Amino acid sequence: MATATSTTTTTNLGILISGRGSNMEAILAAVKAGRIPSARPRIVISNKADAAGLKTAERYGVPTKVVLPEGAKGWDYDKKLVAALEGAGVTPQDGLVCLAGFMRIISPEFVRHFKLRVLNIHPALLPSFPGLHAQRQAVEYGVKVSGCTVHFVDEGVDSGPVILQRTVPVEDNDTEETLAARILEQEHKAYPEAVRLFSEGRLRVEGRKVFIRSSS
Ligand code: GRF
């Protein structure tokens, strides 16, 4: 049995982005509004210099850093991420790394380094439609319900233990874009909620299952 929890009162957040950063903003806005009192955003890192989310993070007063791959792959690149995260106070002892539209596959070494301290959000009800273009996959398959999943990151792709899921209906006339917009609204609720639960030490992981302890 493993407990994914913070042993201190504060969870230091590192958020990894590649683009728009709307999920990152949802987390930063929730912290700013006092809805995640036990978390402190310490750094936003992008692998792309022109990620729009970097400006958003600056508006929230969160330090940002661009970590360009410059040819580095796998753990060679991820070591640079670890250095940037730990330099900002996001450690395996009291940190939480949130992948928020980070368009790289994280190496097994990184996952092991931050064991049970890396979260991801995926725009489908996993294990359905992992990988790229999840909303397009859902529309093309003809499912009637889709949604989003926040999960712990393990050594596979979109395969780690599920923390929260939120559903949306798929309408007959939905396109990839209209479904993505409907799912995104739910992502912006689910991700801050999962960060709050983690930072309050309320997630317990047993194998594939995540149990959420009630607050009372
Ligand atoms: C979201 O749909 C998320 O589920 C997926 O990538 C997208 C990122 O959007 N992993 P944003 O950068 O958070 O706006």
pLDDT of the residue at 9: 78
Predicted TM-score of the model (pTM): 0.95
Which residues, judged by CB distance below 6 Å to any ligand atom, belong to the binding site of ligand 1? 17, 19-23, 100-101, 121-123, 184, 187
Active site residue 122: yes
Residue pLDDT, tens place only, 33-77 = 999 999 999 999 999 999 999 999 999 999 999 999 999 999 999
Residue pLDDT, tens place only, 144-192 = 999 999 999 999 999 999 999 999 999 999 999 999 999 999 999 999 9
Between CA 161 and CA 141 the distance in angstroms is 24
Q: DSSP secondary-structure letter at 191?
A: H
pLDDT of the residue at 48: 98
Measured from the Cβ of residue 144, the count of other Cβ atoms closer than 10 Å reads 9
| Closest-lying ligand 1 atom to the alpha carbon of residue 121 | 4
Question: Where are the chain's structural domains?
Answer: 2-212
Report, as an integer, the average pLDDT of 185-200.
98
CA distances from 205 to 11, 92, 123, 159, 197 (A): 18, 17, 22, 14, 13
CATH class of segment(s) 2-212: alpha beta
Collect all residues with Cβ–Cβ distance below 8 Å to 175 and sequence separation of at least 6: 139
